[in-house]
């Protein structure tokens, strides 16, 4: 196919990013250019188009201004030694005794394969929140699975184990998204739903997680039509993921516990009541957490508050950087996380606040088990 050489401005237009962003992308090896004898950059149009085709789900580096914005919108101050009150916003909770609010929690991090959660008894977990690997997402998970069937087989095994360990009536939340790999779109949301239903779960709800446009984690495929404003060149930018909500059997309603009361002001203000949740996604930040596929704290934060009581146990079978455990701890729930990548140990420790003074002064405990 004929190839055109584009200058930096045209290349940035094609990708739908700014000129400074394309420089950053080049630095990170996401796109490449060569220099003309006069020292000017040129980009291959074919290579850029191929990148657009393959790049759903990968990080297009954003400007420092975006990073600042993300820091500002974090849910709470990252001060684990701060009083629990900061996290629980007790001014909005009905009165609860302080010693009840800060009852010790335990956290178990198991480096092992979640297809077998042998450390957990049947019906012992109150909520499952997770985000499985994004199939073979370019860059983040490229080549992780030999085939789509292998991926589906992992989902089947993890669904079965989750069903076993979850208590009757309780909820399993799976954050996932359809995935474009080498020009082929895989119906992951539909397949995960089918598998969970076939495993015995009731399909309760689907929340669409909508990300801010400026925070897009993918390159802008829609730029193709700006270059070729004709029919058939439409490739929309993906700014959503799904949160699938399943239930094991029926819940016996009736339990009330003042410490676990939902803050209805927060619920209304941040529109938790809708099936579309606007949440800012997490970008890997230099010098901070360098883990690309973490979900934002706000995702487990909402789910844990909506589907578990203080003192209960939350499971994340694909723990990654430890977000679910860290948020569970802040919300005074216990947590159990499985992860096969042992190199994430330090990231998890930092996120859960292992090294911060006084973190476990509240007698919270953490246990690491290694069976990888």
Ligand X SMILES: C[S@@+](CC[C@H](N)C(=O)[O-])C[C@H]1O[C@@H](n2cnc3c(N)ncnc32)[C@H](O)[C@@H]1O
Nearer to ligand X, 108 or 259 (CB): 108
- Check residue 318 for interaction with ligand X (CB under 6 A): yes
> 314: which residues sit within 8 A by CB, 6+ positions away?
125, 126, 127, 128, 129, 300, 304, 308, 324, 325, 328, 333, 334, 335, 336
213-224 burial string, b = 16+ CB within 10 Å, else e? eebbbbbbbebb
| Total number of residues shown for the chain | 372
Instruction: Quickly list DSSP for 36-89.
Output: -TTS-EEEEHHHHHHHHHH-TTS-----HHHHHHHHHT-SS-S-TTS-HHHHH-
- Check residue 340 for interaction with ligand X (CB under 6 A): yes
What gap in Å lies between CA 277 and CA 240, rounded to an integer? 10
Integer angstrom CA distances of residue 157 from 88, 198, 293 = 35, 12, 22
- Check residue 96 for interaction with ligand X (CB under 6 A): no
Q: What are phi and psi of 328, to 5 degrees?
A: -55, -45
Contact residue for ligand X among 43, 277, 338, 360 (CB under 6 A): 338
Quick one: which segment of 20-28, 63-71, 126-134, 245-253 binds ligand X (CB under 6 A)? 126-134
Nearer to ligand X, 80 or 133 (CB): 133
- Check residue 133 for interaction with ligand X (CB under 6 A): yes
- Check residue 216 for interaction with ligand X (CB under 6 A): no
Quick one: which segment of 131-139, 163-171, 180-188, 221-229 binds ligand X (CB under 6 A)? 131-139
Contact residue for ligand X among 163, 196, 246, 295 (CB under 6 A): 295
Nearest approach, Cβ of 348 to ligand X (angstroms)? 9
- Check residue 294 for interaction with ligand X (CB under 6 A): yes
What gap in Å lies between CA 88 and CA 296, rounded to an integer? 18
- Check residue 339 for interaction with ligand X (CB under 6 A): yes
Contact residue for ligand X among 163, 209, 291, 307 (CB under 6 A): 291
Please state the separation of Cα 321 from the chain's center in Å.
Answer: 10
Which tokens go with 371?
């069976």
Nearer to ligand X, 11 or 110 (CB): 110
CB atoms < 10 A from the CB of 343, how many?
Answer: 8
- Check residue 320 for interaction with ligand X (CB under 6 A): yes
Nearest approach, Cβ of 275 to ligand X (angstroms)? 21
- Check residue 337 for interaction with ligand X (CB under 6 A): no
Nearer to ligand X, 134 or 301 (CB): 134
Using CB under 6 A as the binding criterion, the count of chain residues that bind ligand X stands at 20
Beta carbons of 300 and 272 less than 8 angstroms apart: no
- For ligand X, the binding residues (CB under 6 A) are 113-115, 131, 133-134, 154, 291, 293-295, 317-318, 320-321, 323, 338-341
């Amino acid at each position: 196919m004929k190839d055109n050489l584009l200058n930096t401005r045209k290349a940035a237009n094609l990708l739908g990013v700014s000129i400074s962003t394309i420089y950053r992308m080049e630095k990170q090896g996401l796109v490449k250019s060569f220099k003309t004898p006069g020292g000017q950059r040129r980009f291959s149009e074919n290579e850029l188009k191929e990148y657009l085709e393959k790049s759903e789900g990968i990080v297009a580096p954003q400007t420092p201004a975006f990073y600042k914005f993300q820091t500002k919108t974090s849910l709470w101050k990252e001060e684990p030694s701060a009083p629990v009150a900061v996290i629980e916003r007790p001014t909005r909770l009905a009165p609860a005794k302080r010693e009840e609010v800060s009852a010790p929690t335990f956290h178990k991090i198991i480096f092992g394969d979640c297809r077998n959660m042998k450390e957990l008894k049947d019906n012992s977990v109150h909520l499952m929140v997770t985000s499985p690997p994004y199939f073979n997402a370019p860059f983040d998970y490229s080549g992780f699975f030999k085939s789509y069937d292998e991926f589906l087989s992992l989902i089947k095994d993890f669904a079965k184990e989750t069903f076993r360990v979850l208590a009757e009536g309780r909820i399993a939340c799976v954050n996932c998204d359809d995935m474009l790999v080498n020009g082929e779109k895989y119906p992951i949301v539909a397949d995960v739903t089918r598998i969970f239903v076939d495993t015995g779960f009731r399909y309760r709800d689907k929340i669409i997680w909508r990300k801010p446009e400026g925070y897009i984690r993918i390159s802008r495929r829609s730029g193709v039509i700006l270059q070729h404003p004709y029919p058939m060149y439409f490739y929309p930018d993906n700014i959503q993921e799904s949160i699938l909500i399943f239930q094991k059997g029926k819940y016996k309603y009736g339990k009330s516990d003042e410490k676990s009361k939902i803050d209805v002001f927060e619920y209304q203000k941040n529109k938790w009541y809708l099936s579309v949740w606007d949440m800012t996604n997490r970008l890997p930040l230099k010098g901070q957490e360098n883990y690309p596929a973490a979900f934002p704290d706000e995702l487990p934060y909402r789910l844990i508050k909506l589907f578990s009581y203080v003192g209960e146990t939350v499971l994340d079978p694909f723990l990654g950087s430890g977000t679910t455990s860290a948020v569970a701890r802040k919300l005074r729930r216990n947590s159990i996380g499985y992860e096969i990548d042992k190199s994430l140990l330090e990231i998890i420790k930092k996120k859960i606040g292992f090294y911060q003074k006084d973190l476990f002064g509240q007698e919270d405990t953490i246990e690491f088990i290694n069976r990888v």
